[in-house]
Chain A
Amino acid sequence: MKNLLHSPALYIAIVVTAIAALLPLWLDAYLLGILTVAYYFGVFSMAWDLLFGFAGEVNFGPTFLIGLGAYTAAILDNQFGPPIFVCVLAGAVVAVLGGLLLAVPALRLSGPYFGLVTLVAVLLLQNAIVIFAHWTGGEIGMTVPDVLSIDANENYWYALVFLVVSAVLLFGLSRSAVGLILQASGQDRIEAQALGFNVTKHKIAAFCVSALFSGVAGAMLIFYMGTASVDTVIDISIGVQVIIAAVLGGRRTILGAALGSIFLILATEFLRPLGQLNTFVVSAVALAVILFFPDGLLGYVLRAGERE
């Protein structure tokens, strides 16, 4: 606990949160909207970092978990119209169950095979949505009758509070005893087992936690946007964006993942005048950061402190 109070990450996080809380005073509805989306992506990336940075498993299909949460909530709302929190809860449950279904067999595999299985899972989900178009809206997507709010300010607050709560929980978990065991499992599986830790159990638990946050964030995102479509929550390119954001921000930092997401989405927005070049420039910057600062932006700052 004492270490936590000395951690520069904590102070960076408090300052960033304070600034974020004051932003609605200055920004217009359009920019707040962009940030709202960025915050949900921040949760996606943090959930992914728990799995990659701590448990050491590369999940190439974060959108499998996100998509399960989002589409479960959307279909439920569309068909039966229960209160929003029920839909979000259902989305979370299905994401965790789907995650378990995927992780239990996949974690028996080692090396790149786990990653490949998660990648295939995304393609399967994508195809399932197209095939069951009657329920899901297929390639066009579906509208969601209910939304969180029609007020940009209110939506911004929902997203920010959700981001901060998720960050506190995930960061806390990563610094807990379980987080320590997870890191040991990710770094040297054999030694962690020799120290008496059931590595598979811990990794599955990490996968479930990652699925839980991904699912809830996915569900809340569609209730913000009012639509659910393959292109916004499931497509491989969305998953790649989540991964790049986490690596960009700093592996094994959790908070860095959130910063990376916000940075990535804001950069795309501000470079929009470049037209076609926009994505190219953002990707090039991301590539440069990964090549020259493999620890990521926040990771670089923190490691500099550790080296002393």
Chain B
Amino acid sequence: MNAPVRLRVEHLNKRYGGLVAVKDISLELRAGEIVGLIGPNGSGKSTVMKLVMGIEPSSGGTIALDGDDITRWPSHRVARAGVGIVFQHSRPLHRQTVLENIKLALLPDSLLRLFAGRDVDTRARAIADRVGLSAVLNRRPPTLPFADLRRMEMAKAIARDPKVVLVDEPFAGLTLSEVATFSDLIRGFRDEGRAVLLVDHNVKSVAALVDRVFAMYLGERIAEGTAEEVMRDPTVRRVYLGGEIVASQKRSAAGTAKPPLLEVKDVSVLYGKAQALDNVSIHVGEGEFVSIVGLNGAGKTTLFNAMSGLVPYSGTITFGGQDLSRLTAGGIARAGLVQCPEGRELFGDMSVEENLDLGGQHLTAARRHEQLDWLLEMFPILRERRTQAARTLSGGEQQMLAIARALMMDPKLLILDEPTLGLAPVILEQLGRALERLRETSPITVVLGEQNVTFALPHADRVYVLEHARIAWEGDPQRFASEMGTGYL
């Protein structure tokens, strides 16, 4: 590793109001190496990428490219200096052909060069050839398969001839063979002496490719080293798996005997051209607590959104014997299938009580009071915060409010999507106790989606593992540790 340092980030900080998104991050990127920047949702990895690119201003620290301080430079200047980025979601020019989209990246930043030179055309074709787009040069982006759109983004990055390439979630939404092709392209960057930073949720997906991994959680560096070292790192394991896996012993094999309440059969979902769910079938019995675990991007939220009628799907979902495809999203919620979404979606300027009242709109006044009392019993902290605006609550309190609001709708089945997102371990304990009380004091069926296995297992009667849009495993929590525990990360 004696190659020159291309990008040097030192003591980088980013605050959004009171929230610290990036805290004292320092990292180096050398010519001809691939570094993975990993961390779960909300860990600040994407923010680091945006700060390097100059898309957002940093709150402190320095970023240097080949020794030049580029910290305060506007994005286009950073790009001209030699930093390229491959976005995960981009909006290409829909009315121009693939070739023209690539040519765009080759144009000078000038108002006077009205027409591109002949060399631009030749170079664009050569780049298209390299990424495997030659056959579709004259097609327009909306007609292309997903992988080709990603290829086009790669082509645009190559066209800029960057010294440093940032790649956001390089393999999201790609099939296995496509992953191999893209890995080769990224290795090609390394062989040409470029420095590559791969930003992704987890080590597993980039392990085969990277020379080094830098792991983040809640804005801070938690580990650095080879992929294997980072995967073995106790802090990393705690963040992803939540530490030691303990399954609850008291509810063994209770679920399977219960009458089915929810039946998901062969459900597939496509986002544009990306396969988000592939023939997923699950069933949930009445009163059962089912956990669906999977890393970010595995398809958990998509599955829940399909159940709630928020995304179109193929296959069937029945709830209490009723085909849900005939109901609107509102109708599904009124029928008793209520989702507490990832990211909470609270009404920030309304008070805690107003948020709860909104959840209980369709209940009679007496019923609403009863429900409210029960919930404030379960989440005592919300009683104290009744008149406070929701956005002034801490993350953990907001999560409890979100769950309470969903419960105000008096659901038969409650979907909790990643309730631990961005919460500190102490808060997780409180949240876990609240879920335990919920289990003991009500007959509500719960489907919990989590990437934090330790949080998801203790409560569960049954566990599904969702991996790359498919169900990879099903069984009791006790068996999870022995059968899935090691292969999960």
Using a CB–CB cutoff of 8 Å, the interface residues on chain B facing chain A are: 53-55, 74-76, 79-80, 84-85, 87, 90-91, 93, 95-96, 100, 103-105, 107, 109, 111, 113-116, 140, 156, 160
Contact = CB atoms under 8 A, between A and B. Distances in A.
A255 B252 CA distance: 72
Contact of A196 (B76, B90, B93, B100): B76
B107 A180 contact: yes
Given A180-B96, A183-B93, A199-B76, A194 B113 contact: no
B222 to A, nearest CB: 28
B104 A184 contact: yes
Question: In terms of DSSP, what is the predominant structure of the interface of chain B?
Answer: loop
A252 B96 CA distance: 12
A199 B75 CA distance: 10
Nearest to B114: A176
Contacts of A177: 107, 113-116
A193 B79 contact: yes
19 contacts: A172-B114, A178-B111, A178-B113, A180-B107, A187-B91, A190-B55, A190-B87, A193-B55, A193-B75, A194-B75, A194-B76, A194-B84, A195-B76, A195-B79, A195-B160, A198-B109, A202-B111, A252-B95, A306-B140
Given A195-B160, A201-B111, A306-B140, A180 B75 contact: no
B91 A194 contact: no
A188 B91 contact: yes
A267 B79 CA distance: 50
A177 B90 CA distance: 20
A180 B104 contact: yes
Contacts of A201: 109, 111
Interface of A: 172-173, 176-178, 180-181, 183-184, 187-188, 190-199, 201-202, 205, 252, 306
Contacts of B107: 177, 180-181, 197
B267 to A, nearest CB: 30
Nearest to B105: A195
Closest 4 CB pairs of A and B: A193-B75, A196-B79, A176-B114, A188-B91
Contacts of B140: 306
Nearest to A172: B114
Contacts of A306: 95, 140
Contacts of A192: 76
A306 B80 CA distance: 33
B95 A196 contact: no
A184, A202, A205 — most chain B CB neighbours (10 Å)? A184
Given A177-B114, A194-B53, A197-B107, 7 more contacts: A178-B114, A180-B103, A181-B109, A184-B104, A193-B79, A194-B75, A306-B95
Contact of B109 (A176, A190, A191, A196): A196
A191 B114 contact: no
Contacts of B87: 190-191, 194
B80, B113, B114 — most chain A CB neighbours (10 Å)? B114
A58 B84 CA distance: 30
Contacts of B91: 187-188, 191
B334 to A, nearest CB: 31
